[in-house]
């Protein structure tokens, strides 16, 4: 997702590895006909339409995530939902060129645009229109799987999009957040604390630059990842990837003439907040208007409590200060 290469965190190595500079062919491209890719789970059209995974689907996805630190869900979202999300994205940021994003990212905060690599920008989206619909951030299939991983008390931590412009080079290999503890034996035995849900808004083939992953690297202490062990798959509209926040990954080069927008929804246990990607950059990671939050079903509001908090503090200046009481002489 985000390569904060200008800001090393908690002693994590930021050395550029070979895998960040190679083409997708240097890794293991997916051959889904081989029958050995157990980290890819197909969601049927009926499951997608009803937002209800079959027990076998949920079991397979949970097992894949536990083993590999990631799972690719083929067809989890309805294509119409993705098309509507893309339309709202275009309405918010579609007119911005790469040069305009670069200029905007240089401004002091608060700022919706953050540069995360050459020709690559992380954008805080406003959760309005199609992006503010329940079937996006509280999709039934997602919630079923995420509750198995993070428990029902989880919250949405952030909702952003990363745009990779034409000719963007590969990112360096990185984790979205360093291990919580400096001693690796603790992290290897810890349950996942945050999950990054990657939702492409367009079809992403190997030329457009999908995300390459190192299966099982969420349990590694090291951050060096041989390029030949990277796994990469093309992504279709309706697919989504669930990544353990500790997993090593890298955005690959965009060799096309088209910008590549991908939405990132990060869900977390309630005690975890990503200060590395948001607090230190002076950005609110969630932007949902209070009016939209108040329209949400009561069952969804606990998931969105951080959106409510950020919306409230952004309007704190509107809170009235009670006038002082007159002092009576006596």
The torsion angles phi and psi of 120, rounded to 5 degrees, stand at -135, 125
Nearest CA among 26, 74, 36 for reference residue 227: 26
Torsion of CA 244, 247, 253, 254, to 10 degrees: 0
Q: Average pLDDT of the chain?
A: 86
Q: Which CATH number fits domain 41-306: 1.10.10.10, 3.30.56.10, 3.40.190.10, 2.60.120.620?
A: 2.60.120.620
Q: Give the whole-angstrom CA distance, residue 3 versus residue 251.
A: 9
* pLDDT given for residue 7 in this prediction: 36
DSSP 207: T
Using the predicted structure, report yes or no on whether residue 18 has a pLDDT greater than 50: no
- Under a CB-based contact definition with an 8 Å cutoff, are residues 201 and 261 in contact? yes
For residues 288-306, average pLDDT: 97
Nearest CA among 117, 159, 144 for reference residue 262: 159
- Under a CB-based contact definition with an 8 Å cutoff, are residues 166 and 256 in contact? yes
* pLDDT given for residue 90 in this prediction: 97
Nearest CA among 151, 147, 139 for reference residue 263: 139
What's the pTM value of the predicted model, to 2 decimals?
A: 0.87
Cα→Cα distances 206→104, 144, 210, Å: 29, 30, 6
* pLDDT given for residue 152 in this prediction: 93
- Under a CB-based contact definition with an 8 Å cutoff, are residues 155 and 161 in contact? no
Q: In percent, how much of the chain has pLDDT > 70?
A: 85
- pLDDT band with cut points at 50, 70 and 90 for residue 160: very high
Q: Give the whole-angstrom CA distance, residue 125 versus residue 110.
A: 14
DSSP 204: B
Strands of the 28-29 sheet, one edge to the other: 28-29, 231-232, 211-213, 249-251
DSSP 122: E
Per-residue pLDDT tens over the stretch 178-230: 888 766 555 566 789 999 999 999 999 999 999 999 998 888 877 778 888 89
For residues 265-292, average pLDDT: 88
Using the predicted structure, report yes or no on whether residue 273 has a pLDDT greater than 50: yes
């Amino acid at each position: 997702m985000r390569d904060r290469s200008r800001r090393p965190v908690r002693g994590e190595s930021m050395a550029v590895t070979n895998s960040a500079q190679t083409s997708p062919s240097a890794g293991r491209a997916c051959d889904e006909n081989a029958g050995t890719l157990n980290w890819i789970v197909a969601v049927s059209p009926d499951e997608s339409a009803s937002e209800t995974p079959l027990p076998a689907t949920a079991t397979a996805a949970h097992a894949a995530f536990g083993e590999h630190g990631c799972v690719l869900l083929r067809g989890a979202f309805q294509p119409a939902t993705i098309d509507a999300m893309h339309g709202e994205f275009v309405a918010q940021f579609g007119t911005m060129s790469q040069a305009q994003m670069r200029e905007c990212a240089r401004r002091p905060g608060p700022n919706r645009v953050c540069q995360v690599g050459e020709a690559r920008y992380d954008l805080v989206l406003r959760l309005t229109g199609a992006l503010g619909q329940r079937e996006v951030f509280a999709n039934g299939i997602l919630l079923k799987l995420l509750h198995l991983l993070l428990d029902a008390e989880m919250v949405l931590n952030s909702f952003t999009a990363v745009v990779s412009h034409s000719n963007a080079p590969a990112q360096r290999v990185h984790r979205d957040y360093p291990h919580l503890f400096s001693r690796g034996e603790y992290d290897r035995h810890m349950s996942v604390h945050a999950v990054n849900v990657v939702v492409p808004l367009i079809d992403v083939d190997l030329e457009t630059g999908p995300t390459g992953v190192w299966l099982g690297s969420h349990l590694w202490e090291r951050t060096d990842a041989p390029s030949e062990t990277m796994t990469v798959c093309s992504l279709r509209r309706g697919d989504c990837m669930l990544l353990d926040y500790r997993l090593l990954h890298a955005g690959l080069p965009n060799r096309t003439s088209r910008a590549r927008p991908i939405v990132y929804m990060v869900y977390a246990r309630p005690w975890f907040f990503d200060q590395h990607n948001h607090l230190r950059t002076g950005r609110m990671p969630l932007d949902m208007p209070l009016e939209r939050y108040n329209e949400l079903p009561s069952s969804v509001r606990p998931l969105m409590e951080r959106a409510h908090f950020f919306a409230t503090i952004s309007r704190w200046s509107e809170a009235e200060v009670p006038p002082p009481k007159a002092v009576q002489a006596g």
